[in-house]
Structure 1
Amino acid sequence: MSSIEARSWAFLSEAPAHRDIETLEAHFRRTLAAFGFDRYCCTRLRGLEAHEAPTVVSRHGFEPWDRRYWRERYIEQDPCATWIADSRTGFTWTDVREAAPVATAQAMWSEAAAEGMSNAFVVQMPGPLGEKIILRMTSPSSRLSPQHRPLLEGVGVVFATLAVRLRELAGDRPGPGTLTRREGQCLAWAAKGKSDWEIGAILDISPKTVNHHVEAAKRKLDCPTRIQAVTAALACGLLPKV
């Protein structure tokens, strides 16, 4: 087994056990390095318009390029946007350039290469709120061995999925009383009759995470039902204004 395969399988088997985003990110960076990739950016994307910059889930070394990309409105000439809109996954910038050379994008490619990003591997998957999760991993080299592409795609999908989940949970910080901030928010919206899906859309977290927070609040308040938990939290003054 090659070092790339060994590191990939180690990540795939160990990553689900990580309980914080920082540990996951560090492990992912070490794994990417085995492929010759040194930067990445994982985002939640709801649109492909110039004014709709995506929500960043996790990134390393990508900040300068992202600022330039959105400032220069490269989204309007980036052929990768079409591939993403068509839900293509597991593609490289080289694939895009060779399939459909776009003259207007040459400046963008040249500037990326000048910043040490000669090629990128892109994977995407559906997000918990109907958006797309996009992961771009870049390399100073333009080469990516075909035999390594399935492994890198698997590693990327697992990382992005776990990163979204851990980032949601990382927003849960201790608040007043016995409830965390997120638990209080979820109960407060539940008190207004909102469903888990609606609360998730409001707080930008998944319905599954909303249910996680509500169930945690029920246990802390020793209440068997959601309605009783809301009532108890109101009586104790634990619900924030929403």
Structure 2
Amino acid sequence: MDRLQTALDFIGDIAAEVDVNQMLARLSRIAGGFGFDSFLLTGVPDPGRRIDGYIMLSGWSEAWLDRYVSQDYVQVDPIARRLQSVADPFVWSEVMRGLKPDPMGRRVMDEAASIGMRDGLCVPLYDRVRGRSVLSLAARTVDLSPADRAVLHLVGMYAQSRIRTLLDPAPHVDEHPRLSPRERECLQWTAAGKTSWEISAILGLSQSTTDGYIASATRKLGAVNRTQAVAEGIRRGLID
């Protein structure tokens, strides 16, 4: 089974998950399938704030989590600092090649490396109500294709959404939204990898009108972007 199908199965499975420990186990399995040994799903605190109250799901070793929190490493961690200014997934080593961390920042990275967390992938996430968060996955080495990163981005979005619902239930989202024929059509072409410009040419619409249909479908599906809207449309059987 390919990794995209595995991710879609994960999304379907967690939709009805009510147990935080089972969420931890499910996310650990899918992370392992991409070669990662541990992970942390957490909110991103503003500079100066501790991370304690932001952690949603920890697949880190208990000893490392305790040390990271007790030493307030989030203030000096160069990867955590990077999360303040990026929106796309990034590999730790790619970022570190362009940085010269201070001694404390280097200490955090060296300590993480000493327990096998030599490299990793950060998947920045965003919740319209609760702000920024991240799925941070760690391993000795990272070897991912662009498609792998996209799949893990999708996994992160759904894991964040579900665990937030379990920890802090949000208002009910309509599981049976009604998309107009044009909304469905535009979303279907988006799923096929077409840009707004290409969809507008195919359907004989203006690009702004096409963007409007996609944005409307995204809102109805309770999604935060097109990628999540496509996944929601597939999960609910609204598009193929």
The alignment's TM-score, normalised by the length of structure 2, stands at 0.61
Deviations 1:87-130 (A, max 9, x none): 43311211220232325232221211111111121123234643
Percent identity (aligned): 22
CA distance in 1, matches of 2:9, 2:137: 19
Q: Specify the alignment match of 1:230 in structure 2.
A: none
Task: Give the structure 1 partner of residue 165 of structure 2.
Answer: 165
Instruction: Work out whether residues 51 and 69 of structure 2, in 8 Å CA contact, stay in contact via their aligned partners in 1.
Output: no
Quote the Cα distance in structure 2 between the aligned partners of 1:61 and 1:130.
23
Partner of 2:4: 5
TM-score by length of 1: 0.61
Give the aligned partner of residue 112 of structure 1: 112
* Structure 2 SS opposite 1:117: coil
3-state SS of 2:41 partner: strand
Q: Could you say what the CA RMSD is over the residues aligned between the two structures, in angstroms? A: 2.5
Contact 1:125 1:132 in 2 (8 A): yes
Report the AA paired with residue 148 of structure 1: D
Asked if the contact 1:45/1:54 (under 8 Å) is kept, the reply is no
Q: Give the conservation status (yes or no) of the 8 Å contact 2:35–2:142.
A: no
Provide the residue aligned with 1:130 in structure 2: 130
Aligned with 1:161: secondary structure? helix
Q: Any idea what the Cα deviations from partners look like across 1:51-91, whole Å, max 9, x if unmatched?
A: 45342211123432232223334333322233211143311
Q: 1:144-199 CA distances to partner (integer Å, 9 max, x unpaired)?
A: 34431111111112111111111225xxxxxxxxxxxxxxxxxxxxxxxxxxxxxx
Q: How does 1:54-203 map to 2 (within 5 A)?
A: 54-104=53-103, 105-127=105-127, 129-169=129-169
Deviations, residues 10-68 of structure 1 (Å, cap 9, x unaligned): 21333223233333322222111110112111123442315453422111234322322
Gaps of 5+ in 2: 173-240
Contact 1:50–1:73 under 8 Å retained in 2: no
Structure showing greater radius of gyration is 1
CA gap 1:9/1:78 in 2 versus in 1, 3 angstroms:
same
SS at 1:99 equivalent: coil
In structure 1, C-alpha distance between the alignment counterparts of 2:47 and 2:137, rounded to whole Å: 19
Letter in 1 for 2:69: W
